[in-house]
């Protein structure tokens, strides 16, 4: 995995590079916005980590120009400023995810990996996590090499959860995604689907956690 890291603070850039290299990734560091713009145009990375506060042009501008070129490279934004405003703006500009400094290393790694996965998903139609694989085009799920039977609704729920690995989603969000416009469903129905899915994917190393009163989070067991 080739990562382009755009960060001007030496200590932080160096630290991130060490960490990601420990996971087998190749990390190139760029220290200002204008250089980043040039480097990103070469288009040979799979994920970009971009700090917002940069000399030259700022991180937002780098992303804007990237997207303006039609480049869909997954971007993780790092911010030192007020998280909420930066996030909203960053996502509007075209960023895919964000992290507020300072962050925990496992969090950084998880998000970079998730972005990498997402990037590849748009090329292939498969989502893979531990022992579970989803073939989106044919709507088939394979657990530990064996195909599993899923109803239309169950598939919808599982696909959505798989597309949001390590992210908390509410039951209402799931409902909104899997239902055609105009139909209604109670949150209880979602509970039923999730419990059925859990049975079917047991032992794949993928677990669906319940966030009491709120929703679910799908993640790999003990990464």
Partner 1 sequence: MKTSIRLSLLRWLILPLMAINLCGAAMVYWLAWVPAEHAFDQGLADSAWALIPQLRLVDNRIDIDLPKPAEQILRVDHTDAIYFTVRTPHGRTVAGDNDFPAMPDDSRLGEPVAYDGVMRGERVRIVVLHARVGERDVYIGAAETMHKRSTARLEILGTLAVMEFVVTLLLVGTIWFGIGRGLLPLDRVRHELDARQRDELTPLRNDDLSAELSPVIDAMNRLLERVRAGADAKQKFLADVAHQLRTPLAGLRTQLEWLRQRVAGDTEAVDSATQMIDTTTRMARHTNQLLSLARADPSQFQFVKLELIRLDKVIEDSVQQFVREADKKLIDLGFQLEPTMIAGDHFLLRDLVDNLIDNAIRYSPMRGSVTVSCRKEGGQGILVVEDEGPGIPEMAREMVFKRFFRIDDKAPGTGLGLAIVRDIVEDHQAAIEIGQAQGGKGTRIVVLFPPVKG
Residue ranges in contact with partner 1 by CB under 8 A: 9-12, 14-16, 18-19, 22, 51, 53, 78, 80-82, 84-85, 100-105, 107-108, 167-168, 170, 209, 211-215, 217
Question: Least distance in Å: CB of 210 to partner 1?
Answer: 9
Question: With 0-12 CB in 10 A as exposed, 13-18 as middle and 19+ as buried, what is 182?
Answer: exposed
Question: Least distance in Å: CB of 45 to partner 1?
Answer: 20
Which of 53/205 has CB closer to partner 1?
53
Residue 167 tokens, joined: 């992210």
Which stretches of 59-104 are DSSP H helices?
Answer: 59-68, 83-93
Which of 149/221 has CB closer to partner 1?
221
Which of 20/48 has CB closer to partner 1?
20
Burial 47-82 (b: 16+ CB within 10 A, else e): bbbbbbebeebebbbbbbbbeeeeeebbbbbbbeee
Which of 3/150 has CB closer to partner 1?
3
Q: Cβ of 114: how many Cβ atoms within 10 Å?
A: 21
Residue 72 tokens, joined: 């869909």
Which of 87/120 has CB closer to partner 1?
87
Question: Least distance in Å: CB of 115 to partner 1?
Answer: 16
Residues 181 and 184: their CA atoms lie apart, in Å, by 8
Question: Least distance in Å: CB of 79 to partner 1?
Answer: 9
Question: Least distance in Å: CB of 106 to partner 1?
Answer: 8
Q: How far is CA 170 from CA 32, 119, 146, 177, in A?
A: 38, 24, 29, 11
């Amino acid at each position: 995995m080739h990562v382009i890291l755009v960060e001007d603070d030496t200590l932080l850039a160096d630290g991130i590079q060490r960490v990601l290299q420990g996971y087998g990734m190749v990390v190139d560091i760029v220290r200002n916005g204008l250089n980043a713009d040039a480097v990103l145009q070469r288009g040979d990375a799979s994920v970009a980590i971009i700090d917002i506060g940069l000399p030259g042009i700022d991180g937002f501008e780098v992303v804007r120009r990237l997207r303006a070129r039609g480049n869909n490279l997954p971007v993780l934004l790092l911010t030192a400023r007020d998280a909420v405003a930066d996030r909203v703006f960053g996502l509007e500009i075209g960023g895919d995810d964000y992290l507020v400094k300072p962050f925990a290393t496992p969090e950084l790694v998880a998000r970079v990996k998730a972005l990498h996965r997402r990037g590849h998903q748009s090329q292939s139609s498969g989502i893979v996590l531990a022992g579970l694989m989803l073939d989106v085009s044919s709507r088939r799920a394979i657990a530990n090499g064996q195909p599993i039977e899923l109803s239309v609704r169950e598939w919808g729920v599982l696909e959505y959860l798989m597309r949001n690995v390590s992210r908390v989603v509410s039951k209402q969000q799931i409902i909104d995604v899997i239902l055609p416009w105009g139909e209604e469903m109670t949150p209880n129905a979602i509970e039923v689907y999730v419990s059925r899915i859990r049975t079917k994917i047991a032992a794949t190393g993928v677990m669906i956690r319940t966030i009491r009163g709120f929703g679910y989070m799908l993640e790999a067991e003990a990464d």
